[in-house]
A and B are shown apart, each in its own frame.
Chain A
Amino acid sequence: MVNLEEIKKEAKKILEEGKVKYIIGYAKSSNILMAAPVFIKKPEDVNKLIWNPTCFQNLVKFLLDEKRKKAREKEPDTRPVGIFVKGCDSRAINVLLQEKFITREDVYIMGISCEDLGVLDEKKIFKKLKDEKPEKIEFDQGKNIVISTKEKTIKIPLKEILAERCLECTSSFPVISDVFWGDRNNRSPKEPFKSLEQIESLSQEKKWDFWQQQLSKCIRCYACRSVCPMCYCDECVVDSINLAVTADTSAEEKAQKIKWIEKSPESSENFGYHLVRAMHLAGRCIDCSECERVCPVDIPLRLLNKKLEKVAKELFDYKAGLDPEQPSLVSSFKDEDPEDFIR
């Protein structure tokens, strides 16, 4: 089992040695069921760090901010940033390295294995609690969560409330790291694409109806894009800033810039946004499923990305983020690649 004290000790050490600029980790938030990102600069603050199944966030997202900040600074601090990663998060670092968005020297990777667990699914907990509010939680030897509400105290085996992605995870430990805690046991879930079964069994019409209904809920808060470590475009297709404006740009040019997707949360525009995002994640999504977790209106966005992951696996035997040296899915080919989709 991963020992939090050892983690804190290492964090303290590298901050004292000045090895890293700061460390991105997890701390408690005012929501007892969810940790919050914390940015630790001083060695004495390492006691804020926590590690448990409420550490949902994929902190790799914050490396994008760091890169942009560094680009703006005249004399940037070139030391790496320390970052805690789970198995899935580490694969996101690999994709960023593969795409040369960051370099290996930018990060000091502090890998923690999820071992045989993962992170919780808040929605599954709320279902078990039937709208009662949790007031206190405890983790009992890494096997159960003990939740106290006003009315009662219940013990739930963690396996019953783990996020879907953790149940389907095949590599629950970081695949790249500078320092590592926990075991390196591969998992072999019986059905790694089980969550797709239901939607795949539907007819084309029914699938269309399903997505019509789901995507009509979208309020275009862009939390899915904002939380995604792979969404690092300077100019997203949905933002109306995608025009390079110079002193010579005329009013006509500004007025006539192409708008690919309108701001209105109408069905056609929502489809445009979500499908563009899904396609841009083909061969890149590492299934942290943060997009689905953060969606305030519960759109099952993971299904889109998981389907593309499955297609990549079946057609090209490709899995994103396993190795920073592997060629990217969409910009490489092998002789044996299937081509029967070309008609």
Chain B
Amino acid sequence: MEKILTKKSFPAWVKKLQSYTVYAPEKQENLWSYEVIQNPDKLNLEHLNTVQAPKKITFPQREVFLQFNTSKEGKPQIKEVLPKEQPTVIFGVRPCDAKAITLTDKVFGEEPKDPYYWSRRNQTTLVGLTCNTPPSDNCFCLSVGGSPHAKEGLDILMTDMDDKYHLDSLSKKGEKLIKAAENLFKPVSPKEKKELEKIHRESEKKIKREVKDIKNIPDKLKNMFNSPFWDEEAMSCIRCGICTYLCPTCYCFDITDELTSTLPLNGKRVRTWDTCQFPDFTMHSSGHNPRPDKASRLRQRILHKFQYHVENYQDYLCTGCGRCISLCPMGIDIIEILNKVRDHE
């Protein structure tokens, strides 16, 4: 279902969605961030890449699995904590970030399905926005099978057409959102349809960065596990978690018990993000770590995204958002690494 919505009517539509928690990108000082929108009149969808992907909403950095309490008689009580079922809409989702959510859907959708992830995910409607101009200098979605107007994972794709938005509703969740304020939408004229196609075509031409012949990379990587290449590339890495925590596709996590008291034993079992870049990642209880240095950690990041995930799910674990490049304090650039891998003898 395709519709036209004037920009003036956009806040009115959002106001009709009272039963949802509404997130959209908001500029806070210098940075764009997905925040709960209190005042729809202030909404504008002119954001550059947000620092954190909407992953922070669908797969939060911390969530409680269960609570444990010990009564005076010493009898332990364990109570599972599932996320509150709250319908949520996220506006302004970039196609790369939506694609990323479909990748984590596959991982958390394998049996046994992850109830914590899905109780949140099933309630989430993703309203995307075409990137008429790339929201980052380091966008390379075209190289990894995406596009600035890709629909994968989205419930609605909006495209900015000057004083109006074109809306393409792609799922039942999307239709439901439009039905909430049906009288605000107009049908699409043939002229508008043509204009839309032009915007979409042009948007692809504006992506400047690319990884050529990316198809050869997974095979190439198979023979590079022991290459000194990783030592060289990791020289300038400082082992922080920026590249992985800000990545829309990285999904590694840790589970720990956080105690509020030891006697009696009370606390919570929580899941938090984890990253292959940290020293305790894959640390064995013996104290041995199969990934002892930064070269093996950088290699893990690249191999997971471009070899292991391809073997397991037939897709790259990267959607070309460019965050890891833009925010690496040392200028490590995954596009340059991949190009070097491709040309590696």
CA distance A265 to B289 in the complex (A): 25
Q: Is the CB of B326 within 8 A of A219?
A: no
For B329, give the chain A residue with the smallest CB separation.
A294
Interface size class of B (residues with CB under 8 A): 35 or more
Which chain B residues border A126 with CB–CB below 8 Å?
30
Cross-interface CB contact of B240 among A37, A65, A133, A221, cutoff 8 Å: A221
For A65, give the chain B residue with the smallest CB separation.
B294
State the Cβ distance, B220 to closest chain A Cβ, in Å. Answer: 21
State the Cβ distance, A243 to closest chain B Cβ, in Å. Answer: 8
Q: Is the CB of B241 within 8 A of A297?
A: no
State the Cβ distance, B280 to closest chain A Cβ, in Å. Answer: 5
B117-161: CB near A (< 8 Å → 1, else 0) gives 000000000000000000001100000000000000000000000
For B32, give the chain A residue with the smallest CB separation.
A131
CA distance A29 to B336 in the complex (A): 10
Which chain A residues border B279 with CB–CB below 8 Å?
239, 241
CA distance A220 to B335 in the complex (A): 26
CA distance A123 to B327 in the complex (A): 13
Known A-B contacts A30-B331, A298-B30; the reply to A37 vs B235 at CB < 8 A is yes
Q: Is the CB of A293 within 8 A of B48?
A: no
Which chain B residues border A293 with CB–CB below 8 Å?
329
CA distance A210 to B270 in the complex (A): 28
Task: Show 20 A/B contacts (Cβ-Cβ < 8 Å), sorted by A.
Answer: A30-B336, A36-B330, A37-B235, A37-B330, A39-B235, A62-B236, A65-B294, A123-B30, A221-B246, A226-B239, A226-B240, A254-B285, A263-B256, A263-B270, A263-B272, A264-B62, A264-B258, A264-B270, A294-B242, A298-B29
For B292, give the chain A residue with the smallest CB separation.
A72
Does A223 interact with chain B (Cβ within 8 Å)?
Answer: yes
Which chain A residues border B245 with CB–CB below 8 Å?
219, 221
Does B31 interact with chain A (Cβ within 8 Å)?
Answer: yes
Cross-interface CB contact of B241 among A30, A222, A240, cutoff 8 Å: A222
Which chain B residues border A297 with CB–CB below 8 Å?
31, 51
Does B287 interact with chain A (Cβ within 8 Å)?
Answer: yes
Does A11 interact with chain B (Cβ within 8 Å)?
Answer: no
Cross-interface CB contact of A227 among B62, B240, B332, cutoff 8 Å: B240
Within 8 A of A (CB), among B206-251: 235-236, 238-242, 245-246
Q: Is the CB of B331 within 8 A of A245?
A: no
A residues sitting closer than 8 Å to B (CB atoms) are 29-31, 34-39, 57, 61-62, 65, 123, 126-127, 131, 133, 219-223, 225-227, 239-241, 244-246, 254, 259, 262-266, 290, 293-294, 296-298
Q: Is the CB of A39 within 8 A of B236?
A: yes
Q: Is the CB of A36 within 8 A of B278?
A: no
Cross-interface CB contact of A29 among B52, B256, B333, cutoff 8 Å: B333
State the Cβ distance, B231 to closest chain A Cβ, in Å. Answer: 10
Q: Is the CB of A223 within 8 A of B242?
A: yes
Q: Is the CB of A219 within 8 A of B61?
A: yes
CA distance A241 to B258 in the complex (A): 16
Which chain B residues border A65 with CB–CB below 8 Å?
294
Known A-B contacts A263-B272, A264-B270; the reply to A222 vs B240 at CB < 8 A is yes
CA distance A29 to B238 in the complex (A): 16
State the Cβ distance, B275 to closest chain A Cβ, in Å. Answer: 8
Does B311 interact with chain A (Cβ within 8 Å)?
Answer: no
CA distance A297 to B242 in the complex (A): 10
Cross-interface CB contact of B30 among A34, A127, A221, A244, cutoff 8 Å: A127
Does B12 interact with chain A (Cβ within 8 Å)?
Answer: no
Does B36 interact with chain A (Cβ within 8 Å)?
Answer: no
Within 8 A of A (CB), among B243-288: 245-246, 254, 256, 258, 270, 272, 274-275, 278-280, 283, 285-287
CA distance A244 to B285 in the complex (A): 11
Does B325 interact with chain A (Cβ within 8 Å)?
Answer: yes
Which chain B residues border A39 with CB–CB below 8 Å?
235-236
- Between B235, B283, B329, the greatest number of chain A beta carbons within 10 A of the residue's beta carbon is seen for B329
- Between A62, A219, A244, the greatest number of chain B beta carbons within 10 A of the residue's beta carbon is seen for A219
State the Cβ distance, B226 to closest chain A Cβ, in Å. Answer: 17
Known A-B contacts A127-B30, A264-B258; the reply to A35 vs B242 at CB < 8 A is no
Q: Is the CB of B283 within 8 A of A219?
A: no
Q: Is the CB of B238 within 8 A of A223?
A: yes
Which chain B residues border A36 with CB–CB below 8 Å?
236, 330-332
Within 8 A of A (CB), among B91-128: none
Which chain B residues border A37 with CB–CB below 8 Å?
235-236, 330-331
Which chain B residues border A225 with CB–CB below 8 Å?
240
Known A-B contacts A239-B280, A296-B327; the reply to A223 vs B258 at CB < 8 A is no
Cross-interface CB contact of A61 among B48, B137, B238, B333, cutoff 8 Å: B238
